[in-house]
Structure 1
Amino acid sequence: MPTRKPVLPSDWVKHAQPIEGIERIEAWFHGNAYAMHRHDTYAIGRTLAGVQSFRYRHGQRNSLPGNTIVLHPDEPHDGRAGTEEGFQYRMIYVEPALFQEVLGGRALPFLEGGVTTDPRLAAATHALLPPVGYTLESLEQSDALAELANALAAATGTPARTAKGDFLAARRARDYLHAHRARVVTLDELEAATGRDRWSLSHDFRTFYGTSPYRYLTMRRLDAVRHLLLHGAALADASAAAGFADQSHMTRHFSRAFGLTPGRWLRTAGAVARLT
Structure 2
Amino acid sequence: MTPTDLVAEAFQGLGRLCANDSGDRIVQAPGAMGMERIEAWFHGPVFDPHRHDTYAIGVTLSGVQSFHYRGTMRHSLPGQLIVLHPDEVHDGGAGTESGLRYRMLYVEPSLLAAAMGGAPLPFVPEGIVDDAGFRTTLGSALGDLDRQLDELFVDDFIAQLAGFMQQHAGRPAKPLGKTAWRTANLARDYLTDNALDPVRSEELEAVTGLDRYALSRHFRAAFSTSPHRFLVMRRLEQAKKMMAVGTPLAEIAAAAGFSDQSHFNRQFKKAYGMTPGRWSALVRCERSIEIRTAA
Question: TM-score scaled by structure 2?
Answer: 0.87
- Indicate conservation of the 8 Å contact 1:120/1:155, yes or no: no
Aligned residue for 1:128, secondary structure, equals helix
State the shift of 1:150 in Å: 1.9
Secondary structure, in 3 states, of the residue corresponding to 2:281?
A: helix
- Residue of structure 1 aligned with 2:35, choices 19, 22, 35: 22
Choose from 211, 216, 226 the match for 2:225.
211
Q: Is the counterpart of residue 239 in structure 1 residue 253 in structure 2?
A: yes
Which stretches in structure 2 are left out of the alignment for 5+ residues? 1-19, 291-295
Q: Which moved more, 1:87-96 or 1:124-133?
A: 124-133
Alignment correspondent of 1:181: 195
- d(CA) in 2 for partners of 1:140, 1:48: 23
Between the aligned partners of 1:72 and 1:184, the Cα distance in structure 2 is 28
SS of the equivalent of 2:125 reads: coil
8 Å CA contact 2:124, 2:170 repeated in 1: no
Q: SS at the partner of 1:132?
A: coil
What are the superposed Cα offsets for residues 50-89 of structure 1, whole Å, 9 maximum, x if unpaired? 0000011111000000001100011111111110001100
Whole-angstrom CA distance in 1 between matches of 2:102 and 2:189: 32
Listed one character per residue, the Cα deviations across residues 223-254 of structure 1 (whole Å, up to 9, x for unaligned) are 11111122222223211111110111100000
1:199 pairs with 2:213: yes
**Aligned letter for 1:109?**
P
SS at match of 2:142: coil
Aligned partner of 1:45 among 58, 71, 79: 58
1:121 and 1:155 in contact (8 A); partners too: no
Distance 2:273 2:108 in 1: 19
Show the counterpart of 1:225. Answer: 239
Say if 1:205 and 1:211, in contact at 8 Å, map to a contact too.
yes
Are 1:12 and 1:272, in contact at CA under 8 Å, matched by a contact in 2?
Answer: yes
In 1: Cα distance, 2:137 partner to 2:214 partner: 34
Residue 3 of structure 1 corresponds to none
Separation of aligned partners in 2, 1:174 and 1:81: 35
Alignment pair present for 1:172 and 2:186: yes
Note the residue ranges of structure 1 that are not aligned, 5 or more in a row.
1-6
| Cα distance, 1:122 vs structure 2 | 2.3
Pairing of 1:54-203 with structure 2 (within 5 A) = 54-157=67-170, 159=172, 162-164=175-177, 166-203=180-217
**2: CA distance between counterparts of 1:158 and 1:188?**
36
**What is the CA–CA distance in structure 2 between the aligned matches of 1:232 and 1:269, rounded to whole Å?**
10
Aligned positions, number: 270
Shift of 1:138: 2.1
Cα offset for 1:17? 0.6
CA contact (8 A) 1:107 1:158 kept: no
Bigger shift: residues 147-156 or 114-123 = 114-123
User: Could you tell me how far apart the structure 2 residues matched to 1:105 and 1:138 are?
Assistant: 21
Point out the structure with the larger helix share: 2
The one-letter amino acid paired with 1:217 is L
What is the RMSD of the two structures over their aligned residues, measured on CA atoms? 1.7
Aligned amino acid, residue 253 of structure 2: S
Partner-residue secondary structure (3-state), 1:215 = helix
- How far apart are the structure 1 equivalents of 2:29 and 2:104? 10
Percent of matched pairs sharing the same residue: 46
8 Å contact kept, 1:53–1:61: yes
Structure 2 CA distance for aligned equivalents of residues 157 and 83 of structure 1: 30
